[in-house]
Amino acid sequence: MSDVSRIKEFNLPDLGEGLTEGEILAWLVKVGDVIELNQPIVEVETAKAAVEIPAKWAGRVQSIFHAEGTTVEVGAPIIAIDTDPDAGPVEEPAATPSTAAVEVAPSEGAVEPGLIGGPAPGGRTAVLVGYGPRTTAATRRPRKATAPPPAVPAVPAVPAVPTTPAVPAATSVPTAPAAPAVPAARVTPVSPATATASTSVNGNGRHVGGVVLAKPPVRKLARDLGVDLAGLTGSGPLGSITRADVQQAATTTTAAEPSAAAPGASLGADREQRIPVKGVRRLTAENMVRSAFTAPHVTEFLTVDVTRSMKALERLRGRREWREVRVSPLLLVAKAVLLAVRRHPLVNSTWTGDEIVVKDYVNLGIAAATERGLIVPNIKDAGRLSLRELADELTGLVQTAKAGRTSPAQMSGGTLTITNVGVFGVDTGTPILPPGESAILAFGSVRPMPWVHRGKVKPRQVTTLALSFDHRIIDGELGSTFLRDVGEFLTDPEAALLAWT
C-alpha cells in the first residue's frame, strides 16, 4: 500500500471558462526526471490559449500517459509522480496490463461483439493499446496455444463438389475433390485484403488476428488516398501505422503508376492539405458564426487625415521618458476610442435580450493574429490608464500574444475591441463583433495620399477607419457620431486632449 500511495496521478486541471478539454502541445519533463513543486511540467492548448501547467507534487516522473498532440479531457490523468523517490524502487503489481493490441477473448456473450473487450474476428478480443482485457482472459491463452491448427475451411471446398450440396462440411474435407483445393489456394498470390483477414501475427506487431494498428484519423487518410493499410509496415509504437507511413505509400504508388494525364494534371488528395479545426481556431470560428448570425451588424467608414497624429508620435518618441517605450499609431487610436466612449457610453454595452447593460469600465480588446489563430486579449479598465500606462499595457499584450502565453483570463470580459488591419497593409475591412460586445473598430494602413489641406492638394498621411456595431443597441446616429469623434481626435490629437480631458 505504501508504494501505491506514494505514486500520485496528476489530472488535467479545469483551466476555467467552462473548458472541457485541452491538447498537449509539449512535455517539459520526461520519465525519470526529478521535479519540484510548482515546476512547469506540460504546455497545454485549450480553446482559449496555450498555458503551462505546474506540478502539484515534487518527486520523480513515473509515467506520462499521453503523447504530445493528444487531446485530453479535463479530469483525465496525464502524468504519474513518485512523491518519495528515495524510498527505493516501486514494486510492480502482480498483474500488469498487457501491451498487446489484442488478447484472447473472454467467454462468448460476456461482452457485446464489436466493443472494446468484445470478441473480434478470429475469436480474439480487441482492446486499446497499453490496456489489456480482464486478467481471466490471460488464463485462457495456454488452451488457445495448444489447440490443434484450424482445419481447412469448408467454404472453399463447396465449389469443388457442386453436385453434393447436402454433404456436411465436416465430411467434405477428406473427399477427393477437396484435396487439390488446398494447394491451389496456397499457390494463388495473397492480396493485401486477404493478408489482413488471414494473418494472425506479423513479425513487427503490425496486425494481430486481422487487426491493423492505426488510429481512426490514419484510417480515414488511408481511405481518402486509396492506400491498403494491410500492406504497410508501421513505424509507430508497437508497429502501428502512422500518417507518414500512409502518405509515403500513397506517394510511392502515385509515382509507380503510369499517368495518362499530362504532368501536373492530378487533382487528387495528394495535392490537398487537411488542417484539423481545434483549440483557438475552433473557438474563434464558433464565436464568429454565433456573432455574425445573432447581432445585426452595421459598418460605417471614415477616411481621416492623420498627419498631425504621426507628427505627435515623433515628438513623443523624442522625449527622454518615452525613449524606451514602443510607440505606434495604435496607441493614439486606442486613446481616441477611450475618450470617445466617455462621450457616448452606450457604445460600450451588451445586449442580453431583456436589457442593455452599459459598462462604466472599458476592457479594451486588441485583436491579435497568432500561430494558433486569432485571439482578442483585453486591457482591463483601460479608460483609467494614463497615455504612458496604456502604451506599456499595449506592448505587454502584444509580446505575450506573440509568445503564445496569453492566459484565458486575459481574453475574457472584453467590452470594446480594436483590430489593426493596417499592419498587414490593408486599408480597411468590415470586422465581426466579438460575442457580447456592441462595437469593434478596424484601423487601416496609414498611407501618403493626395489630400485637400487648406485649399490646396498636398501629400498627407491618411487612414480609413471602419466601425461595425450592433444595430439593436447603436443606431445610425450614435454610431456615426462615435466614429466622427474618433476621427476628430486622430486629425488633431493634441487639441482633442486639451478639449476633452
CA atoms within 13 A on the CB side of 334: 31
**Active-site pick, 66, 297, 344, 471:** 471
Residues near 319 by beta carbon (within 8 Å), at least 6 away in sequence: none
Catalytic, 471? Answer yes
Give the separation between CA 219 and CA 210, rounded to whole angstroms.
Answer: 15
Cell numbers describing residue 63: 509515467
Residue 164 CA, chain-centre distance (Å), reads 62
Please check whether residue 440 is in contact with residue 482, taking contact to mean a CB–CB distance below 8 angstroms: no
CB 203 within 8 A of CB 237: no
Q: Which three cell numbers stand for residue 374?
A: 486569432
* CA 49/CA 47 separation, integer angstroms: 6
Task: Output Rg (C-alpha) for the chain, integer angstroms.
Answer: 33
HSE-CB of 454 using CA atoms within 13 angstroms: 3
Query: What is the DSSP track for 181-225?
Result: HHHHHHHSPPPHHHHHHH--B-TTSSEETTEE-B-HHHHHHHHHH
**What's at 54, amino acid-wise?**
P
Residue 387 near residue 397 (C-beta atoms within 8 A): no
Measured from the Cβ of residue 34, the count of other Cβ atoms closer than 10 Å reads 12
Mapping DSSP to helix (H, G, I), strand (E, B) and coil, where does residue 357 land? strand
**Pairing mode of beta strands 211-212, 102-104:** unpaired
Give me the active site residues, please: 471
